[in-house]
Amino acid sequence: MSDTLSQMLPSAVGVAISPLPIIAVVLMLVTARGRVNGPAFLLGWMTGLVMVGAVLLAVASGVDARELGAPAPWVSVVVLGLGVLLLLIARTQWRGRPRAGDAVQTPPWLEALDTVSPVKAAGAGVVLAALNPKNLLLAVAGAAAIAHTGLSLGQQVMAYVVFVLMATTGVGAPVVIYFAMGERSRLLLNRLKHWMAQHSAVILAVLWLLIGLKLIGDGISGLSR
């Protein structure tokens, strides 16, 4: 299991520090409904990740993902292809990063999150976890890393639960800060929001690069067995 945790750790960290969801939860926390909307978003976020994992692990269990305790060749091919895709995304993300002095605008739909109801806040958490393409790719990469280890389905489920908990630390931290510091957290959370918005492209580019290289290495290693 420890080997599985090390395999999925980069993807879990990538999901955890994904800028968009962190900015979203901060926007909700600094409003009058922050005490309710923050936890609602967090619950929706975890639900979205669980949904993604349930689908991916169900697909993996429906076919022969192992051969004599090792991942089947098709798993390694998928991992390799996903790694190449992430490298291409990293290149695009790096080229599109804002230059020094460029103003970074928060998307209007994201700013609108400060007026949503708790139900919509939970829905936003589900969408950003399960339907946001960038986050979805990282979740798929994490599930692929788990499937690549050739564990039994029960062990894969346990590993993905750990993945969800690790991947939730990013959006969970602002919620903890809010409840621990109360009104004093507003300044800190606003600074966090602006920093994440300014550096999100670079953060994501580095993440895609590192995880892509790791997946390519895992895929090649699996095919060479």
pLDDT tens track for 163-204: 999 999 999 999 999 999 988 888 888 888 888 777 777 887
Please say if the pLDDT value at position 94 is more than 80: yes
Are the beta carbons of 162 and 4 closer than 8 angstroms? no
Q: Kindly give the interhelix angle for 153-167 and 34-61, rounded to the nearest 10 degrees.
A: 150
Torsions phi, psi of 67, nearest 5? Answer: -135, 105
| Contact by Cβ (8 Å): 159, 8 | yes
Question: pLDDT by residue (tens digit) across 58-79?
Answer: 776 655 555 545 556 766 787 7
DSSP state of 113: G
How far is Cα 94 from Cα 30, in angstroms, rounded to an integer? 30
Residues in the chain, how many?
225
Q: Is the pLDDT of residue 124 over 70?
A: yes
Percent of the chain with pLDDT over 70: 83
Mean confidence (pLDDT) of the chain: 81
CA atoms within 13 A on the CB side of 168: 23
Q: What is the mean pLDDT of residues 29-51?
A: 92
Spatial separation of the C-alpha atoms in residues 214 and 151, rounded to whole Å = 19
Of 21, 23, 201, which is closest to residue 100 (Cα–Cα)?
201
- Distance between CA atoms of residues 112 and 150, nearest Å: 44
Please give the Cα distance from 46 to 90 (Å, whole number).
25
In angstroms, the CA 214 to CA 88 distance is: 14
160, two tokens? 């993905």
Q: Which whole number is the average pLDDT over 200-221?
A: 81
Domain that holds residue 45: 2-223
If one counts the domains in the chain, the total is 1
The separation between the first and the last C-alpha atoms of the chain, rounded to the nearest angstrom, is 20
Greatest mean pLDDT among 2-11, 37-46, 129-138 lies in: 37-46
Q: What is the pLDDT of residue 40?
A: 95
Confidence band, pLDDT 50/70/90 cuts, at residue 105:
low
pLDDT of residue 9: 82
Is residue 100 over pLDDT 50? yes
Confidence of residue 119 (pLDDT cuts 50, 70, 90): very high
What is the model's pLDDT at position 46? 95
pLDDT of residue 68: 44
